[in-house]
Chain A
Amino acid sequence: MQVVIIGCGRAGAALAHRLDIEGDTVGVIDVDPAARLRLPPRFRGRFVHADGMHTEALEKAGIDRTDALAALSGNDSLNVVIMRIARERYRVPHVVGRLHDTDAAPVCADLGLAMVTSVRMTVDRVHRMLRHRRLEPEHTFGNGESLLVRSGVPDYLAGRHVHELDVAGEIQVVEVTRAGHSLIPAPGSRLRNGDLVSFVVAAGSLERLRGFLGGRLT
């Protein structure tokens, strides 16, 4: 895959490095010539010192043949403008970008641009960790509507059927780790002390799951 990255800050450089290791052809653009130093010494891709909004710079970085563009500069408006140039002028098939805050989010929604909003992501994640201390999500699906969480089984649940914990459309047990071995629970299997259970849970039902694990099985 060929990828153009706008911005060689921490995120841009880290993504460039990872894609380079994975064998992709990477072109990175940054207005600051010193940003090149963030790339690893053995980086095989191209660094273009220029304003990413300039078509000449984009072309130097390979936008004519690229499969994807990631706009990761620290300037939200710039990311939006460049993403649109990539999509509409160069017909880049896959265009993604980052927003630091939500000011430009309505414009992106209107233009149908796929954005990762770093402040919102951080707040969601930290909020979840604060609220659900014992239930740290291992993985989130979609925009965080469903989560994968793991938890030890409290004593009072030992001996109960695994699927007593399921709530249709809200909570689903998907896996149990017992003495270091993972198993997918069959109908009728029972929980034992020391089990580590994986749940897929709707974000709005985390409180309910916490209630179960804290001693309320309603």
Chain B
Amino acid sequence: MRAIVAGGGLVGEQVARALQSAGHETVIVEQDRARAAELTAAGHRVVTGNACVSEVLEAAGALRADVLVACTPRDEENLLVCFVAKRHLELPRTVARVNDDTNLWLFDDAWGVDAALSWPAALAALVGEPAARVHRDLRP
């Protein structure tokens, strides 16, 4: 599969690595130039720019990609990225990182999010607490 990873922080880079290990192609979209250079030096394919802008996602291959993973550390950015990817560029699938568990309810079809994962809820579930919603996947 071809995947676009929006946000090249620690999480984004590791998501890209994990996807590459599983045999997928990845392009990371990172806004910060210095960080983008670091990622390039580390061997990633990188597009520098704001992932909320459809031209930037197109430059990252959005029209041919199978999935977009929104992993920035800000929930509002992840929502906008998924919206643009889904509504403007018709990506088949979008997956988002939820940073603040309180915002989990926002990550749904209205913002073009197919699946979302919240770390605190996921960890809590592993501990054995009855976490109500670890993630949501709107696909049947």
Contact = CB atoms under 8 A, between A and B. Distances in A.
Contact of A107 (B52, B102, B103, B106): B52
Interface stretch (A80-88, A172-180, A194-202): A80-88
A89 to B, nearest CB: 9
Nearest to A57: B102
Contacts of B77: 77
B80 A77 contact: yes
Contacts of B76: 53, 75, 77-78, 80-81
A59 B38 CA distance: 42
Contacts of B84: 106-107
Q: Which bucket holds chain A's interface residue count?
A: 10 to 19
Contacts of B110: 84, 88
Interface string A73-99: 001011011001100100000000000
B75 interface: yes
A53 B105 CA distance: 11
Interface of A: 51, 53-54, 56, 75, 77-78, 80-81, 84-85, 88, 103-104, 106-107, 110
Q: Which bucket holds chain B's interface residue count?
A: 10 to 19
Contacts of B133: none
B79 A77 contact: yes
A110 B87 contact: yes
B54 interface: yes
Main secondary structure, interface of A, reads: helix
Given A53-B102, A107-B83, 13 more contacts: A53-B75, A53-B103, A56-B102, A77-B76, A77-B79, A78-B74, A78-B76, A80-B80, A81-B75, A84-B110, A103-B53, A104-B52, A107-B80
A85 B75 CA distance: 14
B50 interface: yes
23 contacts: A51-B100, A53-B76, A53-B102, A54-B103, A56-B102, A75-B76, A77-B74, A77-B76, A77-B77, A77-B79, A78-B76, A81-B76, A81-B80, A85-B106, A103-B52, A103-B53, A104-B80, A106-B53, A106-B54, A106-B88, A107-B80, A107-B83, A110-B87
